[in-house]
Amino acid sequence: MASIAVIDYDMGNLHSACKGLEKAGATPKITDSPTDIKQADAVVLPGVGSFDPAVQHIRERNLEAPIKEAIASGKPFLGICLGMQILFDRSEEGIEPGLGIVPGVVRRFDSEPGITIPHMGWNQLEFSQPDLPLWQQLSRDPYVYFVHSYYVDPIDLSVTAATVTHGSQKVTVAIAKDNIMAVQFHPEKSSDNGLQILANFVSQVRSKVSV
């Protein structure tokens, strides 16, 4: 069984993500312990809410260094929703510095007539890295579930793994580089497509462990 540390920093419904990981055959553990994070086969950083409180909670719990060490170690890492945004340098939502793991800025959607902010509901992914293991066994341009007013804008566009179109804006909603993967949408709310994505992540963890 793949052991996955699901990081608890008081910013999200961790149990939904854990259920999805359990269905995929993993053993998730909700934790804010640096030791648990170090010993786990993989790490998931979920999150909902605002940027500044998220990074404040991470630093108050002394989790920034363990997160960076886990990524540097090469173990599979998955950020979800706010857990993707805080990997970046900063956000237009607040003033706190992000974790600075992925160079770039988190930006607010532009207001447009007839376009709702937050971007909420089902939308279609457009794959930028179609061969990414995270997308295995998904249909082309699958629908997934979003709730967000801000999107990531990476400096290095090659890290973009998927985009989505909202109004006239096409924005990055998934990134992947080396062992880092992160998605803006909620896999745990995205029905069969979301469960498949979590299962694909677990498969990557198992492959890494068995090497």
Q: Which residues are catalytic?
A: 81, 186, 188
Any alpha helices (H) in the chain, and if so which ranges?
A: 14-23, 34-39, 51-60, 64-72, 82-85, 191-210
The structure tokens listed for 161 are 């793994």
For residues 194 and 145, is the Cβ–Cβ distance under 8 A?
A: yes
Q: 69-99: b or e for each residue (b if 16 or more CB lie within 10 Å)? A: ebbeeebbbbbbbbbbbbbbbbbebbebebb
